[in-house]
Amino acid sequence: MIHRNLREQNRRSWNAVVGAHDSHRGDLATFLREGGITLFPEERALLGKLEGKTLAHLQCNSGGDSLSLARLGAAVTGVDISDKAIAAAGELSARTSIPALFERADIYDWLKEAARGGRRFDVVFSSYGVICWLPDLEAWAEGIAAVLKPGGRFVLVDFHPVAEMFDGHWNHARAYPSGGESLLLDEGVGDYVAESEGGLTPAGFAGGVRGFENPEPCHLFRWGLGEVVTALGGGGLRILAVKEYPYSNGERHFADLRELPGRRMIPPKGVPAVPLMYGICATRTGRR
């Protein structure tokens, strides 16, 4: 399997940072227990009604979104490579009494195992900082198609690869991502939840861990939007919608972002609009 050693290193980097991220999330359990939903309107619109659906949430992190999906009526299975994230997700489920299944696995292994075991879902969902961890888009797309029921829906919302071309101050600094080129980050996964100052903490921002430094490097993979869409089509999914949004939800990647209601971040005045997020909705045709 391609780059397994790099993915295992990513697991260590995520394990190191999850506690710092979660330390900023405020009282997420009470927020969810009282009916709060952490999802943004973009993914909710692409997902549609979830009542009574089975849903696999890939790269679910600490489970806040997974439990929100469960609150909306889905029977959720959350999957993530990070031991710490899956442990936190299980604890959150227990503290909120919102049921969901959480499984620790590399999604490449999980998709294969799930397909082999005959597990099939109405919906597969993944969002916000997920494609950059995947070294092989073809295996990913084929794996998703294999666990979707015929007519089932795949929804992805992620940060736009165009945003990768700019440094933190809006200078055009890097080439458009392509080919899954790997990028080593010696500094590992950072505490972007703290840096986003409340943008990623719908239950309120807590100071929590300060000055976090990750001792574990990580490896990213740089893909363009066309490559993502092509992989999904090649994997047997029919694309229903590709949306590009000139704002990003929650995360503060850049200096001087202006925050609109709903934790929507747009560039400062004087910076022309660029797509900062995209969403894809696709369905599994019955032909496979």
Residues that bind ligand SAM (CB under 6 A): 7, 10, 14, 59-61, 64-65, 80-82, 85, 106-107, 127-130, 133
111 vs 229, which CB is nearer to ligand SAM? 111
42 vs 80, which CB is nearer to ligand SAM? 80
DSSP-based three-state secondary structure for 163: helix
Region at 36 (left for phi over 0; alpha for psi -120 to 50; beta for the rest):
beta
In the complex, minimum distance from the CB of residue 90 to ligand SAM, in angstroms, rounded to a whole number: 14
In the complex, minimum distance from the CB of residue 82 to ligand SAM, in angstroms, rounded to a whole number: 4
In the complex, minimum distance from the CB of residue 63 to ligand SAM, in angstroms, rounded to a whole number: 8
User: What backbone torsions phi and psi does residue 215 show, to the nearest 5 degrees?
Assistant: -75, -10
5 vs 171, which CB is nearer to ligand SAM? 5
107 vs 237, which CB is nearer to ligand SAM? 107
User: What is the DSSP secondary structure assignment for residue 131, as one 8-state letter?
Assistant: G
In the complex, minimum distance from the CB of residue 239 to ligand SAM, in angstroms, rounded to a whole number: 21
- Where are any strands of DSSP class E within 204-246? 218-222, 237-245
19 vs 129, which CB is nearer to ligand SAM? 129
7 vs 53, which CB is nearer to ligand SAM? 7
Contact status, residue 133 vs residue 104, Cβ threshold 8 Å:
no
Contact status, residue 173 vs residue 167, Cβ threshold 8 Å:
yes
- C-alpha–C-alpha distance, residues 221 and 246, integer Å: 23
With CB atoms as reference, the residue minimizing the distance to ligand SAM is: 129
- C-alpha–C-alpha distance, residues 283 and 155, integer Å: 9
In the complex, minimum distance from the CB of residue 173 to ligand SAM, in angstroms, rounded to a whole number: 22
Burial letters 31-45, b for 16+ CB under 10 A, else e? bbeeebbbbbebbbe
In the complex, minimum distance from the CB of residue 154 to ligand SAM, in angstroms, rounded to a whole number: 15
- C-alpha–C-alpha distance, residues 96 and 68, integer Å: 11
In the complex, minimum distance from the CB of residue 126 to ligand SAM, in angstroms, rounded to a whole number: 7
107 vs 232, which CB is nearer to ligand SAM? 107
CA 232, 161, 146 angle in degrees (round to 5)? Answer: 20
Write out the H or E segment, with its range, that includes residue 21: helix 4-22
